[in-house]
Amino acid sequence: STVVHWFKGDLRLHDNRALHTAYQYAKEKQVPLVGLFIVSPEDWAAHSTSPARVDFTLRTLKRLQQDLGELDIPLHIETQEKRKAIPKRIVELCQQWGAKSLYANIEYEVDELRREAKLVRLCADNDINFNPTHDTCVVTPGALASQQGKQYAVYTPWYRSWLAFLKENPDYLEVSEEPGPNPGNARQQLQDLFDCKVPAAPKTHILSDEDQKRFEELYPAGEHEALERLDKFLEEKGKKYEEMRSMLPGEHTSVLSPYFACGALSARTAVVAAKTTNKGHLDRYDPGYMTWISELAWRDFYKHVLVNWPFICMNKCFKPEHTNIEWEYDKDQFQAWCDGKTGFPIVDAAMRQLRHCAWMHNRSRMVVSSFLTKDLMLDWRRGERYFMENLIDGDFASNHGGWGFGSSTGVDPQPYFRIFNPLRQSERFDPEGEYIRRWVPELRDVSGKAIHEPYARGAAAIAQKNGYPKPIVDHAKSRDRALERFKSALQKG
Ligand code: FAD
């Protein structure tokens, strides 16, 4: 018989828990191990996956297939037009390959859990041993609870508990070994599987040649690249991370999020590497590494939130009272935000960075999400979707969490009156205006502090000449409107 590992958001060999277990089992039984990946254009469309992320996934699959091939492990890739058909097709493939054991890492989003539940039933009916494994989070969702046994909805106490858990359970930081050569002779028994090619992107998700080339240069695919970037980041930037991470000019963060999103890099590996560099500590010694580890913990936190409150997958706010907020639906303002033409230089620079790089700095994500939902009072769900449609690192839990933070409709305990002032954010995190000048060419000739607010600070002539728009809203008035809207929603309860 054969052992199958179904790859999903875990496109790597190193530190992949289900793959490791599948390999150990195949080795024990001396039978072949086969990898499987199902391309689902319907899933990509339903989840608003960006063309950049689809392209990155397909490029990562190519690398994965090569790496597996070197171990004589085939990676069978096929497209299923109907996502509902996936569980049945997996069982058919297992039967075709004579497989009685199927391994996969769990994905926690509601659609994925439903699909897995169906697969569990079908496998049981067909005498296939299906082994779903927890892998994507460093600490398994559900493992942390307050003294009253409640799941945490606030990051800081949750983070304390996350740290304490890892100190008490060091095995959670054990990195799994990569598989070795295929224990069974797959080349002889399942030869056809080695001819399988990675398909092209579906018609709905095709990038222009120019974008594809740029993304290939910005984000070379594969786990080797991810591990190299991780080492380089820790060596060159980790120590300064706490001090520099919010500054917009230059590159002070790891830009590893695309690799985490498609699973080319495991969050556990990243935490372990940072801990090792930090002389074995998670939460003391060097503030740079400590802070970076705490950012990786945010990724876990939002996945835990998703598991505990799965209704957030249904376009819902975390707190029911926020359902009553009255949103605006002005199409022109939304388009101005998407195009980076709001007349707020910091917002426009960030939105243009997103369009060019399919990625945006965390501070910029906070600024533009606050601007969309507080200054423009546009529904946060529209911004959340636009991010998914454009980000190369689009991840449901982190994106929903980030939009909940920006729009004050999420788990964040801050009261709704924390409204970012785009001007102050710009002066603080891009003091010399380098970030703005890089992404908003219309303002390149504006010198000094006028860059933050050209029309009000004597640079109107340059801005106008170059076609840079005037601010589409007045921040102070918008702020009052947002406060009013939140107040009345909360009063309605
Ligand atoms: P680094 O600063 O190097 O941090 C390392 C890793 O820690 C990141 O790669 C990421 O996995 C994790 N991390 C850091 N900050 C956060 C955070 N605030 N929340 C969750 N994880 C974090 N991140 C995504 O991966 N996908 C998204 O779709 C996404 N959408 C967001 C939307 C909004 C409105 C906001 C405010 C944040 C969003 N984030 C998202 C979180 C964060 O902005 C990115 O993870 C980060 O900018 C990625 O850059 P980096 O890899 O250089 O991060």
Instruction: Please indicate whether residue 158 is annotated as part of the active site.
Output: no
Which residue's alpha carbon is at the smallest distance from atom 43 of ligand 1?
362
Instruction: Please indicate whether residue 292 is annotated as part of the active site.
Output: no
- Domain architecture of the chain: domains with CATH: 1-133 (3.40.50.620), 141-173+213-308 (1.25.40.80), 320-492 (1.10.579.10)
Please determine, for residue 229, whether its predicted confidence score (pLDDT) is greater than 70: yes
Confidence class for position 318, pLDDT limits 50, 70, 90: confident
Output the DSSP codes for 87-152.
Answer: HHHHHHHHHHTTEEEEEEE---SHHHHHHHHHHHHHHHHTT-EEEEE--SSSS-TTS---TTSPPP
Which residue's alpha carbon is at the smallest distance from atom 21 of ligand 1?
299
Mutate to test the pocket of ligand 1, among 259, 357, 362, 372 (most ligand atoms within 8 A of CB): 362
Measured distance CA(298)–CA(282) in Å, rounded: 14
- Quote the pLDDT of residue 321: 82
Task: Point out the catalytic residue in the list 403, 439, 442, 453.
Answer: 403
Give the Å distance between the CA of 190 and the centre of ligand 1: 41
- CA distances (Å), 81 to each of 17, 44, 45, 86, in order? 29, 11, 11, 9
Model pLDDT for residues 363-377, shown as the tens digit of each residue: 999 999 999 999 999
Confidence class for position 493, pLDDT limits 50, 70, 90: low
Model pLDDT for residues 271-316, shown as the tens digit of each residue: 999 999 999 999 999 999 999 999 999 999 999 999 999 998 888 8
Give the Å distance between the CA of 295 and the centre of ligand 1: 8
Instruction: Please indicate whether residue 309 is annotated as part of the active site.
Output: no
Instruction: Please indicate whether residue 295 is annotated as part of the active site.
Output: yes
Confidence class for position 121, pLDDT limits 50, 70, 90: very high
Which residue's alpha carbon is at the smallest distance from atom 15 of ligand 1?
295
Instruction: Please indicate whether residue 362 is annotated as part of the active site.
Output: yes
Which residue's alpha carbon is at the smallest distance from atom 4 of ligand 1?
295
10 Å Cβ neighbour count for 211? 16
Angle formed by the axes of helices 223-236 and 51-70, nearest 10°: 110
Mutate to test the pocket of ligand 1, among 136, 235, 257 (most ligand atoms within 8 A of CB): 257
Instruction: Please indicate whether residue 327 is annotated as part of the active site.
Output: yes
CB of 387 within 6 A of ligand 1: the answer is yes
- Quote the pLDDT of residue 416: 67
CB of 254 within 6 A of ligand 1: the answer is yes
Model pLDDT for residues 65-94, shown as the tens digit of each residue: 999 999 999 999 999 999 999 999 999 999
Model pLDDT for residues 319-349, shown as the tens digit of each residue: 888 888 999 999 999 999 999 999 999 999 9
- Quote the pLDDT of residue 361: 98
- Quote the pLDDT of residue 57: 98
Model pLDDT for residues 404-437, shown as the tens digit of each residue: 999 999 987 776 677 999 999 999 999 999 999 9
